[in-house]
Amino acid sequence: MSVEAAIATRQEPERRPRTRWPAWLSSFNLPGAVVVGLLVIGWQAIAGVLPAFLFPPIQDILRAERELLGEPAFYATILHTYARIIGSVGLSFALAVAAGIGAASSRLVDRSAAPLLALMQGVPAICWIIFAILWFRDIEIRIVFIVVISTAPNFFLQSRDAVLAISKDLRDMVLSWRPTKRQVLTKLILPSLVPILLTTILVNLGIATKVGVTAELLAGVGGIGGELRTAEEQFRMEMALAWTLPLVAFIFITGSLTRLAEKRLLRWRPPMERPNE
Amino acid sequence: MSSAIVLDRVSRTFKSAGREVTAVDDLSLAIEPGEYVCIVGRSGGGKSTTVNLILGLLAPTTGTVRVFGHDPARDGDVLRGRVACIFQSDRLLPWRTAVDNVRLPLEIVGRDEARLAVSPAEWLSRFKLDGFEEAYPHELSGGMRQRVALARAMACDPDIILADESFASLDAITGEALRQEFRDAAKETGKTVIHITHSIDEAMSLADRILVFGRPGRVCAEHDVSRERDGRTLNAAALEQDIKAVMAGPHA
């Protein structure tokens, strides 16, 4: 085949002509916005029927949020919770991915990890929270323990399976150059793990937010969970919702950052197309 | 002159579905430096196993394999960068651009790109991939990807290149062009090549020597094509008939 012919066969996805919108508008998720709008309308309708301590009107929630935004302690509290979640997920990532790669490389490690994994997955998160409260005096260790226990199995299994799924063809190609173990790790294994780990980070941040805040609430250890407990004790639903919004914002921001990282790190992937597009 | 590759009474068996399958049986051969040897044979004849034995990806069950006097399965470090393989499929790392794929062996071997006679980009250019250095594999056609694999094999200037049905997946015209480009590059740079192919025509057009493999893997016949070609006594039709007869015979 001539170069010209080869160039001609270079695969460019065929694009349908689209209406030109400004960049910010074309990336706007209109269907998502409609769903949020419907939820707000539905909430407001229910708030008109039920008492405010169950379903406070939107304006009450916004007023409570404005009140919180004016307090410096609010920022310290949410940053504390964010730091707990991110730090714990980071630790879980480092430990479980290393263990997952080890399990993929060694049957002994894989078999040894199996009962631990069953234990971590089989025991409900609420039990781990109780154990952590009883076992650890240090507040931060309680949170880290609970989040690591809850998220590590995902990191472990996904990284283990992703390493095992590396094609023998690619593995043999790299091994044929006689790399060191470190080179196999950096040039083959870690790049292969990136796609699945980005998704797992996203999923685990959601899990960590849920169990971390639950742990804060039950253990009474400050953070957003501690504030939710106070709001619950005072029957202030609008305040509970005002403290919930930073958690939603956290998931939204970390999700957006992960998607940005995906765009940058996975630009080598062919564009995915839905069957009917 | 000592041989580049020596296999001495090599056998290799695998366990499959509870029974032993012999892929290579009592195989002996020697390849001289700079030789272009084609191995032809029917499917299941242990040709790819032979390549894996020479690469050191497999160890022989019995017998010895030596590459420049070293055991490739044990003395990997000594042979690092001296043996390259072009596989049937391109086996490019999808997360690396074309030029970064070509750089892979250089990074593993630890060779300084600035000191190379031919840079990775120049190898791509030589295989007519100018302008595609930064393209990812999914953006290239099958023929282009195989060219990148060829450039990758040449980039770290190995002494030996093993080509395992490297052009089999390409259409006839692309395959023909690539074969000649590869042979020219290998001959110019004095590489020792073992080229595995199902195509007798391909073997006759490229090889200095043709080894015909039988099943399980062993040499059933050998033809010194270069001598016949140089002496203008090469009768292609007769040679093809001979090889076909061996391949269809009771020992193949």
Identify the band that residue B217 occupies on the pLDDT scale cut at 50, 70 and 90.
confident
Chain B positions in Cβ-Cβ contact with residue A269 (cut-off 8 Å): 94, 138
Helices (H), chain B: 47-55, 76-79, 98-109, 120-126, 142-155, 172-188, 200-206, 225-230, 236-248
pLDDT 10s digits, A40-90:
999 999 999 999 888 999 999 999 999 999 999 999 999 999 999 999 999
Q: pLDDT class for B234, splitting at 50, 70, 90?
A: low
Q: What local confidence, expressed as pLDDT, does residue B250 receive?
A: 62
> Among B84, B139, B177, whose Cβ lies nearest the Cβ of A10?
B139
Chain A positions in Cβ-Cβ contact with residue B135 (cut-off 8 Å) = 10
Chain A residues with beta carbon closer than 8 angstroms to that of B129:
3
Distance CA B151, CA B154 (A): 5
pLDDT at A2: 47
Instruction: Enter the ipTM.
Output: 0.87
Taking an 8 Å cut-off on Cβ atoms, the answer to whether B138 and A11 are in contact is yes
Q: How many CB pairs under 8 A join A and B?
A: 82
**Is the peptide bond prior to B216 cis by the omega test (within 30 degrees of 0)?**
yes
Shortest Cα–Cα distance, B82 to chain A (Å): 9
Q: Check residue A5 and give its pLDDT.
A: 46
Angle value at C-alpha B159, between B153 and B161, nearest 5 degrees: 45
Mapped onto helix, strand or coil, the DSSP state of residue B50 is helix
A172: closest chain B residue by CA: B57
Nearest to A11 among B94, B108, B139 (CB): B139
CB contacts, 8 Å: A10 with chain B? 135, 139-141, 144
- Mean residue pLDDT across chain B: 88
How deeply is A51 buried, as exposed, middle or buried, from its count of CB atoms within 10 A (0-12, 13-18, 19+)? exposed
Of the partner residues B55, B129, B136, the one whose CB lies closest to the CB of residue A268:
B136
- Position with higher pLDDT, A223 vs A28: A223
Percent residues over pLDDT 90 in chain A: 74
Residue A139 has pLDDT above 80, yes or no: yes
Neighbour-count burial for B203-219, b at 16+ CB within 10 Å, e otherwise: bbbbbbbbbbbbbbbbb
pLDDT class of B222 with cuts at 50, 70, 90: confident
Q: Give yes or no for residue A162 having a pLDDT over 80.
A: yes
Can you tell me the distance from the alpha carbon of A189 to that of A70, in angstroms, rounded to the nearest whole number? Answer: 48
Residue A22, min C-alpha distance to chain B (Å) = 28
Tell me, yes or no, if B204 comes closer than 8 A to chain A by beta carbon.
no
Q: Which residue has the higher pLDDT, A164 or B244?
A: A164
Three-state SS for B133? coil
- Spatial distance between the Cα atoms of B83 and B67, rounded to a whole number of angstroms: 9
Confidence band for A8, pLDDT divided at 50, 70 and 90:
very low
pLDDT in tens, A170-211: 999 999 999 999 999 999 999 999 999 999 999 999 999 999
Encode pLDDT of A110-121 as tens digits. 999 999 999 998
* Shortest Cα–Cα distance, A80 to chain B (Å): 37
pLDDT band, residue B58 (cuts 50/70/90):
very high
* Whole-angstrom distance, CA of residue A221 vs CA of residue A137: 11
The amino acid at B229: R
The pLDDT score that the predictor gives to residue A254 is 93
pLDDT band at A19 (very low <50, low <70, confident <90, very high): low
pLDDT per position as a tens digit, B151-197:
999 998 999 999 998 887 777 887 888 888 888 888 888 999 999 98
- A26 in B contact zone (CB under 8 Å): no
In chain B, residues 56-75 whose CB comes closer than 8 Å to chain A: 56-57
Q: Which fold has domain B5-82+158-248?
A: Rossmann fold (3.40.50)
**Quick check: B85 and A169 CB within 8 A?**
no
Q: What is the pLDDT of residues A244-262, one digit of tens each?
A: 999 999 999 999 999 999 9
Q: Can you give the pLDDT at residue A3?
A: 45
Q: Is B89 on the interface with A (CB under 8 A)?
A: yes
Distance, in Å, from the CA atom of B145 to the CA atom of A210, rounded to the nearest integer, reads 46
Q: How does pLDDT run across B79-88, given as a tens digit for each residue?
A: 998 999 999 8
- Measured CA to CA in angstroms, residue A32 lies from A24, A37, A124, A225, B173 at distances of 15, 9, 32, 28, 52
Q: What are the residue ranges spanned by the domains of chain B? A: 5-82+158-248, 92-156
In three-state form (DSSP H/G/I as H, E/B as E, the rest C), the secondary structure along chain A is: CCHHHHHHHCCCCCCCCCCCCCHHHHCCCHHHHHHHHHHHHHHHHHHHHCCCCCCCCHHHHHHHHHHHHCCHHHHHHHHHHHHHHHHHHHHHHHHHHHHHHHHHHCHHHHHHHHHHHHHHHHCCHHHHHHHHHHHCCCHHHHHHHHHHHHHHHHHHHHHHHHHHCCCHHHHHHHHCCCCCHHHHHHHHHHHHHHHHHHHHHHHHHHHHHHHHHHHHHHHCCCHHHHHHHHHHHCCCHHHHHHHHHHHHHHHHHHHHHHHHHHHHHCCCCCCCCCCCC
CB contact under 8 A, A178 and B105: no
Nearest to A178 among B52, B79, B135 (CB): B79
Instruction: Find, in chain A, the residue whose alpha carbon is nearest to that of B126.
Output: A3
| CB spacing of B108 vs A179 below 8 angstroms | yes
Identify the pLDDT of residue B232: 65
Instruction: Find where tokens 């099943």 sit.
Output: B215
* pLDDT above 80: residue A25: no
Q: Which residues of B touch A187 (CB under 8 A)?
A: 93, 104, 107-108
Least reliable range by pLDDT among B1-5, B143-147, B208-212, B248-252: B248-252
Are the beta carbons of A204 and A173 closer than 8 angstroms? Answer: no
pLDDT at A132 over 60: yes
Q: With 50 as the cut, is the pLDDT of residue B13 above it?
A: yes
Instruction: Find chain B residues with C-beta within 8 A of A4's C-beta.
Output: none
Q: Which of B241, B155, B228, B243 is nearest to B197 (CA)?
A: B243
Nearest residue of chain B to residue A270 (CA atoms) = B138
Q: Cα–Cα–Cα angle for B142, B146, B148, nearest 5°?
A: 120
Contact A6 B143 (CB under 8 A): yes
Contacts of A193 (CB under 8 A, 6+ apart): A97, A101, A159, A162, A163
Partner B, chain A 191-210, Cβ-Cβ below 8 Å: 191, 194
Residue A154, pLDDT score: 96
